Amino acid sequence: MLPKLLSREFYERSPEIVAERLLGKRLGRKLGETLLEGIIVETEAYFGLNDPASRAYHGRKNYNSAMWEQPGIAFIYNVHNNWMFNVVAHRSNQIGAVLIRALEPTKGLSVMKRNRPVRNTFDLTNGPGKLTKSLGIDKKLNGISIVSRESEIFITDTNAKFETSSSHRIGVRKDLAKKLRFFIKGNKYVSR
DNA sequence: AGGAAGATCTACT
DNA sequence: GTAGATCTTCCTA
């Protein structure tokens, strides 16, 4: 039996809830015939106009418009020459996204290493810019749906059990009072 | 034309 | 652990 694909409804909740619930889920990336896969081990939630760390803070622009659109699509943008992969997540008529910060790679490691040559397997996907490089994700995939099995990127459910923890978001200049970074406790692929 | 950015790498103490 | 260079993308002017 195929693992259960996360539906549109999964993403139609506050980014904070979705960020926490995405931990332990399986992220699949189809590259032609090849399937790359990893477990999501670290995420961050971003809100809209009231969140100074959010790409949406300064209002809707060409590059950030995905954050206003339908939950369950990819939102990809560049920072310091690194692509950031986010999933759009918010309640209806709101704004928000979840940044995928780190994965534990499970399938297609040799292809990932070709995309991003590193000595140590731990360095393959333990940061937001690293995992997009390893998985071959860039702006071309901005706005694609990830709630169909035909998608180039999709996320499936697992029944893994683990402990989670949270902290303030990494690298942001002005963070909110809430802790919006979530990670799997003790996982070796968490970025720090 | 200039600047800022949710990062990463390298080279250190 | 921390500091500095990086040299893309998209913003504002």
Scanning every strand, the nucleotide with its C1' closest to A116's CA turns out to be B8
* Per-residue burial over A170-182, b = 16 or more CB atoms within 10 Å of its CB, e = otherwise: eebeebbeeebbb
Is any atom of strand B within 7 angstroms of residue A74's beta carbon? Answer: no
pLDDT, tens only, A113-171: 999 988 889 999 999 999 999 999 999 999 999 999 889 999 999 989 999 999 999 88
pLDDT, tens only, A63-109: 999 999 999 999 999 998 999 999 999 999 999 999 999 999 999 99
Which of strand C's nucleotides are less than 7 A from any protein C-beta? 1, 6-12
Is any atom of strand C within 7 angstroms of residue A61's beta carbon? Answer: yes
Catalogue the E-assigned strands of A11-58. 26-31, 34-46
How distant, in Å, are the alpha carbons of A36, A56, A138, A156 from that of A160? 19, 33, 29, 12
pLDDT at A175: 85
Is any atom of strand C within 7 angstroms of residue A77's beta carbon? Answer: yes
Is any atom of strand B within 7 angstroms of residue A88's beta carbon? Answer: no
In angstroms, the CA of A78 and the C1' of C6 are apart by: 14
DSSP readout, A4-22? PBPPHHHHSS-HHHHHHHT
How distant, in Å, are the alpha carbons of A15, A34, A37, A51 from that of A180? 9, 33, 25, 11
Is any atom of strand B within 7 angstroms of residue A97's beta carbon? Answer: yes
pLDDT at A192: 83
**Positive or negative CA dihedral for A104, A107, A113, A116?**
negative
Is any atom of strand B within 7 angstroms of residue A86's beta carbon? Answer: yes
In angstroms, the CA of A107 and the C1' of C9 are apart by: 31
- pTM of the full predicted structure? 0.95
Is any atom of strand B within 7 angstroms of residue A79's beta carbon? Answer: yes
